[in-house]
Amino acid sequence: MASLPHILVLNGPNLNLLGTREPDVYGKMTLSELESFCRTAGEKLGLEVSCNQSNHEGELVGWIQQARDSAQGLVLNPAGYSHTSVALRDAIAAVGLPLIEVHLSNIHKRESFRHHSYVSAVAEGVICGLGVEGYRLALQALAQKLKG
C-alpha cells in the first residue's frame, strides 16, 4: 500500500507555553494537546502528520530544509518570528513545498507590529484568528491540494 502524504506541523517560539500563555488570546489547549489534535485531524484526512516546536530560529530553518526530503507539505505557526524572520521566509522559498501559515489569534486585530508577516508572501495560504481550528483547516487545504 502506498504511504500516506507526510505533513510537518511546526510551531515557533513560546508556543511550548500554550495552555498557560495568555489563554484569553491563545486558548487553553496545551501544545501536546494541539499536536495530538493535528495528528488525529491528519488521520481523518489521509495524512501522516508529525509535529515539532522550537524557540530557536535556526532549528526551525533546519527542519524546513530537511522537510524537502521527508514531507509533501508544511503547516507553520512562526509565532514571533513571523514579524522578524527573513531567514524563515528564505528557507520556505528554498524548499518550495506548499506551506500554510497559521496563527491562533487574529494578528490583524492586534498591535500594528503583528500585522506584517515575512512568511505570508511565500505561503500558499494564511489562516488566523480561528484558534486550533486553523490547524485543521490548514491540513484540509493541504490534503485537497495534494490530491490534485
Q: Which residues bind ligand DQA (CB under 6 A)?
A: 14, 77, 79-80, 82, 103-105, 107, 114
Instruction: Give the pairing of strands 48-53 and 6-11.
Output: parallel
**16 grid coordinates:** 511550548
Q: Phi and psi at residue 121, in whole multiples of 5°?
A: -70, -20
Min CB(145)–ligand DQA separation in Å? 22
Residue nearer to ligand DQA on the CB measure, 5 or 34: 34
Bridge partners, residue 6, by sequence = 48
For the CB of residue 51, give the shortest distance to ligand DQA in the complex, in Å.
15
Q: Report in angstroms how near the CB of residue 7 gets to ligand DQA at its nearest.
A: 18
Q: What is the DSSP letter of 17?
A: G
Residue type at position 113: F
Nearer to ligand DQA, 5 or 53 (CB): 53
Active site residue 118: no
CA–CA separation, 136 and 72 (whole Å): 16
> Is 26 known to be catalytic?
yes
> Which residues are known to be catalytic?
26, 103
